[in-house]
Amino acid sequence: MTTNDLEAQAPVGQNVAKLEANLSRVEELTQRLLKVMGQGRTVAPSLQGPSQELYVKAATAYMTEMIQNPAKLIEHQLEFWGKSVKHYVEAQHLLAQGKLEPPTDETPKDRRFAHELWDTNPYFNFIKQQYLLNAAAVQQAVEDIDTLDSEEKKRLRYFSQQMVDMISPTNFLPTNPEALALAAETEGESLVAGLENMIADLEANDGDLVVTLADKKAFTLGKNLATTPGAVVYRNHIFELIQYAPTTEKVYETPLIIFPPWINKFYILDLKPQNSLIKWAVDQGYTVFVVSWVNPDAGYRETSMTNYIEEGYLTALKEVREICGVKKVNAVGYCIAGTTLALTLALMKKRKDTSVNSATFFTTLTDFSDRGEVGVFLDNDFVDGIESQVEESGMLDSFFMSRTFSYLRSNDLIYGPAIKSYMLGKAPPAFDLLYWNGDGTNLPARMAVEYLRGLCQDDKFATEGFDVAGDTVRIKDVTVPLCAVACETDHIAAWKSSYTGITKMGSKDKTFILSESGHIAGIINPPSKKKYGHYTNPDLGLTPEDWQDSADKHEGSWWPRWDSWLSEKSGKKVTARTPGDEKHPVLAPAPGTYVLSK
């Protein structure tokens, strides 16, 4: 052996030593991991998944189907067996010939398997193909069940897909080629970094594993998020009222107040200047107010929908009128805040209060006869569990809400981020939208149950009437001029359900806009991006499907179209208003104090 040979081997020895050191570090971190994992909250089974009744019904229905129509099920089983055996034989045949290459791959494209080794390495390609064959077989088995009702079938389809997604080979280190290759390339450093990321997430959430989606150190509210200049001009125990500083010499006489959902924080409407709906509205010459809701704790146990309407909406509307010296305002409600705005308008109709000149609804459900994708979590098994949890704690913890919405897009919001953070050891991105998504809020116990039972489950507002402040209000009582914006791929507020609710309202002046994209991206879609288009159709007497089929497609954001509609409802131009007045002194600069509460 020459000196050159020894020198060539030295780096290898160093690499092995580095790998051993990293693996030793992994052992140390594992002990720390086991310690913190024991600190997590105990979550009731009713909040972990559907009741066993669903699976019992599914199994019974499958057995019934097998007895009544065995030929169909046997055909599908044989098809699955045939594909699996053929796949195995083809892979073995190539190996027998000494060819280290995968067999023909006719499985559908799936972005989870984007790494090249899924296509080029025979071992990983075999695993991928067989997983996708198995997944298709599970989906087919669910579709073969014809004796479940449509809602049960929808739930079975959803939860079986969750199981299939959970056991994807990408989610496990031994069957994730990208993670294994990176671990080898970095001598195990990626695994150490991944464990450190996991432990940091567990410690930050008291033992609950919540994947950090965005770099929390990259953003500070008021500095690089929620930066539109303004001030808190009113505060009570429910909300802070923020008035934004004008950027034009003249403004429309009728002010605009925006009610964001209290399920999340308001700054989704004011992320960065270039995608801030609030800043854009100010720049169009509107006097803009926004409600920043309190993040409730257990002390808000008895806070109800009536409290949100009386001490939230009606109070905010009154304060805006006083500050601006006007008799009428224009109002916007987003998601659940739009639902509650509709309840408020119906109550105001009963009270002969005409102080809202027009209303705009963003991704709002008022008719819950079809609850869309989120409906899988709105049956009694889950809602009973939520009711028990809030009775004990006094509030619906943001942990449960965040987890529910994340599971509606589990590959994008749970498994994908977990793979990058925990297996690849990558730091979370500096992404403003994901930062906001992780900044959740709690819901008061009483209000949460009223919303889930009375609106989501019983659909009272669109049927027999919903009780608010001693009155029974109905959807037909909403009679102000209105504009509604729904989103085509919205997984929280299905656009067809939103459309149905709008058609049932009593207003004679109605405009409906369908934006491309989803619950957030379809709304936060500034004109400068020139990204998502939108549909319009003045005929609201059509079914949702016929409305879309005959609608006009427009390129670009719906914001300018809404501006044209809203400006006609906003009166003449007057001298721009600075935040507050003598009776409403500046209490704090925007974005206020409530938004900072964790």
* CATH number of the domain residue 366 falls in: 3.40.50.1820
**3 state SS of 381:** helix
235 shares its domain with 162: no
Which one of 173, 188, 216 terminates a domain?
173
Task: State the pLDDT at residue 450.
Answer: 97
Retrieve residue 175's tokens: 């069957």
Give per-residue pLDDT as tens, 177-220. 999 999 989 888 998 999 999 999 998 888 888 899 999 999 99
Which of 152, 173, 194 corresponds to the end of one domain? 173
Are 347 and 476 within 8 A, CB to CB?
A: no
Mean pLDDT of 510-519: 97
| pLDDT score of 292 | 98
Looking at the fold, whether 455 and 568 belong to one and the same domain comes out as yes
Task: Count other C-beta atoms under 10 Å from residue 30's C-beta.
Answer: 12
Domain assignment of residue 371, yes or no: yes
Of the candidates 343, 345, 245, 232, which has an alpha carbon nearest to the alpha carbon of residue 293? 232
- pLDDT tier at 98 (50, 70, 90 boundaries)? confident
Do both 469 and 323 map to the same domain? yes
126 and 241: one domain?
no
Quote the longest CA-to-CA distance of the chain. 99
Q: Quick one: pLDDT band at residue 97, thresholds 50, 70, 90?
A: confident
Q: What is the pLDDT of residue 57?
A: 66
CA distance 101 to 120: 6
Question: Quick one: pLDDT at residue 522?
Answer: 96
Contact assessment for residue 255 and residue 245, using Cβ atoms and an 8 Å cutoff = no
The set of catalytic residues is 335
The answer to whether residue 156 sits within a structural domain is yes
Tell me if 502 sits within 8 A of 528, measured CB to CB: no
- In this prediction, residue 395 has a pLDDT band, given cuts at 50, 70 and 90, of very high
Q: Tell me the average pLDDT across 350-365.
A: 97
Structurally, the chain folds into a number of domains equal to 2
Residue 243 shares a structural domain with residue 98: no
**Least confident window among 33-42, 60-69, 129-138, 514-523:** 60-69
Asked if residue 524 lies in contact with residue 269, where contact means CB atoms within 8 angstroms, the answer is yes
pLDDT at residue number 8: 42
Q: Within a domain: residue 222?
A: no
Do residues 142 and 287 both lie within one domain?
A: no
Does 39 have pLDDT greater than 80? no
Instruction: Choose the weakest-confidence range: 54-68, 162-176, 257-271, 578-592.
Output: 54-68
What is the arithmetic mean of pLDDT over 573-577? 98
What one-letter code names the amino acid at 598?
A: K
Examine the pLDDT at 302 and tell me if it is beyond 60.
yes
* 453 shares a domain with 386: yes
User: Which residues form the domain of 352?
Assistant: 230-397+442-596
Domain check: are 365 and 480 in the same one? yes
In the structure, what pLDDT confidence band is assigned to residue 3 with cuts at 50, 70 and 90? very low
Q: Which of 146, 173, 200 is a domain's end point?
A: 173
The encoded tokens of residue 362 equal 């963003």
Domain membership flag for residue 34: no
Q: In terms of DSSP bridges, do strands 288-293 and 239-244 run parallel, antiparallel, or are they unpaired? A: antiparallel
* Confidence tier at 475 by pLDDT (50, 70, 90): very high
pLDDT, residue 14, reads: 61
Model confidence band, residue 1 (pLDDT cutoffs 50, 70, 90): very low
Task: Report whether the peptide linkage leading into residue 103 is cis, meaning its omega lies within 30 degrees of zero.
Answer: no
pLDDT of residue 6: 34
Quick check: is 7 in a domain? no
The CA–CA distances, whole Å, from 353 to 53, 328, 342 equal 48, 10, 14
If asked whether residues 164 and 250 sit together in one domain, one would say no
132 and 262: one domain?
no
Cα–Cα–Cα angle for 261, 413, 115, nearest 5°?
155
Helix (H, G, I), strand (E, B) or coil at 222: coil
Within a domain: 4: no
288 and 161 both lie in a single domain = no
Residue 30 lies in a domain: no
- Supply the DSSP symbol for 543: -
| For range 577-586, the mean pLDDT | 96
Is 416 part of any domain?
no
Residues 359 and 250 in one domain: yes
